[in-house]
């Protein structure tokens, strides 16, 4: 996609928001300063005729995002979980984007099954329903397998979805590069890296074989988790653009009146959503990265049923510990330790003052504790955090983007069930449990055992490595430089001894 076409796409985005009336509603909802609000309207009005018309039966913002395509719809899905940011009315409107979009023709779905699975629908299934849910990427059909009579869900990608996403992502890249060029101060936020991360996530979501694999891994990781369920993947009936899983029954988590009528414990359910997410992220480093209401159901027994595994997140063991220490520091109001962790991890430049950073963190954390969460404006809190990170030169941590975004979404889901939920208090037991298991003496011994296990694998190679090193050193050295052979021999013998000790340690441990 060329720069001209990307620029055109961005212009048309603004024009579409103006034409549908979404511009005014969005500016008012987000409480944009009056001067910027007027400027946006004055600049946008002359181009309104270039905007997409959209479905006039939809609310303005939903109408604009739906008309602009799947990448914009994804953005709307995130906002739908944040009534504290966009207001309860718009949040409710945006939930249409989760799984109630117009479906594509059933004949196209059947043709896709034939192309991907090599057999017609009638041969594979005894029943195949019209689409029961349609989202930005795909739609779902309920079916019954012909060979064993099992009820299944068949997910099929929308026709042309790959090209549509590629067009939007190219435009986002163009916008990110322009921001970096015109605003050098924004480079610390690494907008291009952020879009690259988003692009990689989208690429994975558009290959249903990757989703099937993620679902299988997630199901294995959570098999023993009480109150949480992941559907089984039907591998013989899954391919790049078709995914088949077992059918699961439950009430949509977004249907709060129905859950209340069933007698579900709404407060407990809200806490469970948050704690489940944190448990998966900290324990496994592998978590559901798209936990909005459209991807969650509640079973008859109150169990959480997760769906749609196209966006999954991973964080390594070290980053998990950093993240947990930061959370724990906030929970204990130990802002000095939170600041130190940021410096130790390299998140803040080393030339900045730790004490000043701790003071700035206190100004963020203190308003959270001891208050009813309904009195906390997440929008103002995020704005304050942005000011602090800008002041101290923090760069965007791309490895944490999805984790941070999902944390925001999960909190929104929890508050939709329990408006008075305090995210920090709900998170405390999970974080404290992780800290006990991963930052205490047992964790040190476990880390040492892991290190020994790795070293032991190289034990058989150490003699050969030592010999090659000695030959290379002896060949390259001049006679007057013979003395360094002593430390080389010491290093070599030490390596062999370490390997042998490591092997013995592992043998003793197992």
Active site residues per annotation: 290
- Helix, strand, coil percentages for the chain (3-state, nearest 5): 65, 10, 25
Q: How far is CA 456 from CA 379, 463, 469, 470, in A?
A: 51, 13, 20, 22
Q: How far is CA 448 from CA 9, 322, 453, 455, in A?
A: 54, 19, 9, 11
Give the span between the Cα atoms of 203 and 168, in whole angstroms.
13
Helix (H, G, I), strand (E, B) or coil at 298: strand
Residues 438, 441, 447, 453: is their CA dihedral positive or negative?
Answer: negative
Strands (E), 332-471: none
What lies within 8 Å, CB to CB, of 331 at 6+ separation is: 424, 427, 428, 431, 432
Q: For residues 412 and 82, is the Cβ–Cβ distance under 8 A?
A: yes
Q: How far is CA 492 from CA 259, 458, 460, 463, in A?
A: 67, 13, 13, 8
Structure-derived torsion over alpha carbons of residues 75, 76, 77, 79, reported in degrees to the nearest 10: 90
Give the span between the Cα atoms of 497 and 448, in whole angstroms.
16
Give the span between the Cα atoms of 452 and 325, in whole angstroms.
26
Rg (CA), the chain: 27
The candidate with the shortest Cα–Cα distance to 75, out of 123, 13, 153, is 13
Give the span between the Cα atoms of 60 and 24, in whole angstroms.
9
3-class secondary structure for 224-274? CCCCEECCCECHHHCCCCEEEEECCCCEECCCHHHHHHCCCCHHHHHHHHH
Angle made by CA atoms 72, 76, 78, in degrees to the nearest 5: 120
Q: For residues 457 and 340, is the Cβ–Cβ distance under 8 A?
A: no
Give the span between the Cα atoms of 55 and 196, in whole angstroms.
31
Q: How many helices (H) and strands (E) does the chain have?
A: 24, 10
């Amino acid at each position: 996609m060329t720069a001209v076409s990307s620029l055109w796409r961005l212009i048309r985005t603004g024009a579409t928001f103006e034409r549908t009336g979404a511009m005014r509603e969005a500016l008012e909802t987000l409480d944009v300063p009056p001067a910027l609000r007027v400027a946006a309207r004055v600049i946008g009005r002359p181009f309104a005729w270039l905007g997409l018309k959209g479905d006039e039966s939809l609310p303005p913002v939903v109408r604009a995002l739906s008309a602009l395509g799947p990448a914009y719809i994804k953005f709307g899905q995130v906002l739908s979980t944040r009534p504290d940011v966009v207001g309860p009315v718009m949040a409710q409107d945006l939930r249409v984007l989760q799984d109630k979009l117009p479906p594509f023709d059933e004949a196209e779905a059947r043709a896709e099954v034939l192309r991907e699975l090599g057999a017609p629908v009638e041969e594979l299934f005894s029943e195949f329903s019209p689409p029961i849910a349609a989202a930005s990427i795909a739609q779902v059909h309920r079916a019954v397998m012909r060979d064993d009579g099992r009820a299944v869900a068949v997910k099929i990608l929308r026709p042309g979805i790959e090209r549509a996403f590629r067009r939007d992502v190219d435009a986002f890249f163009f916008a990110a590069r322009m921001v970096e060029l015109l605003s050098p101060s924004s480079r610390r936020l690494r907008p291009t890296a952020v879009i690259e991360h988003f692009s990689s996530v989208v690429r994975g979501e558009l290959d249903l074989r990757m989703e099937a694999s993620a679902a299988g891994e997630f199901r294995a990781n959570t098999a023993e988790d009480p109150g949480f369920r992941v559907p089984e993947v039907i591998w013989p009936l899954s391919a790049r653009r078709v995914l088949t899983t077992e059918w699961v029954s439950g009430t949509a988590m977004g249907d709060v009146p129905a859950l209340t009528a069933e007698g579900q414990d709404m407060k407990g359910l809200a806490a469970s959503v948050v704690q489940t997410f944190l448990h998966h992220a900290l324990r496994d480093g592998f978590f559901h990265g798209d936990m909005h209401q459209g991807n969650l159901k509640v079973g008859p027994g109150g169990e959480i049923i997760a769906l749609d595994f196209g966006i999954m997140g991973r964080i390594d063991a070290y980053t998990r510990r950093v993240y947990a220490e930061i959370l724990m520091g906030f929970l204990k109001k130990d802002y000095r330790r939170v600041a130190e962790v940021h410096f130790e991890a390299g998140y803040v430049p080393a030339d900045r003052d730790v004490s000043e950073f701790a003071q700035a963190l206190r100004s963020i954390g203190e308003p959270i504790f001891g208050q009813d969460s309904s009195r906390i404006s997440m929008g103002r809190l995020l704005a304050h955090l942005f000011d602090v990170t800008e002041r101290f030169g923090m760069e965007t941590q791309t490895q944490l983007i999805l984790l941070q975004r999902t944390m925001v979404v999960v909190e929104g889901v929890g508050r939709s069930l329990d408006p008075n939920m305090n995210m920090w208090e709900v998170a405390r037991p999970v974080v404290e449990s992780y800290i006990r298991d991963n930052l205490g003496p047992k964790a040190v011994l476990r880390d040492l055992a892991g290190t020994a296990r790795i070293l032991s694998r190289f034990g058989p190679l150490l003699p050969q490595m030592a010999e090659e090193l000695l030959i290379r050193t002896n060949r390259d050295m001049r006679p007057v430089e013979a003395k360094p052979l002593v430390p080389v021999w010491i290093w070599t013998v030490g390596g062999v001894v370490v390997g042998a000790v490591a092997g013995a340690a592992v043998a003793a441990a197992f």
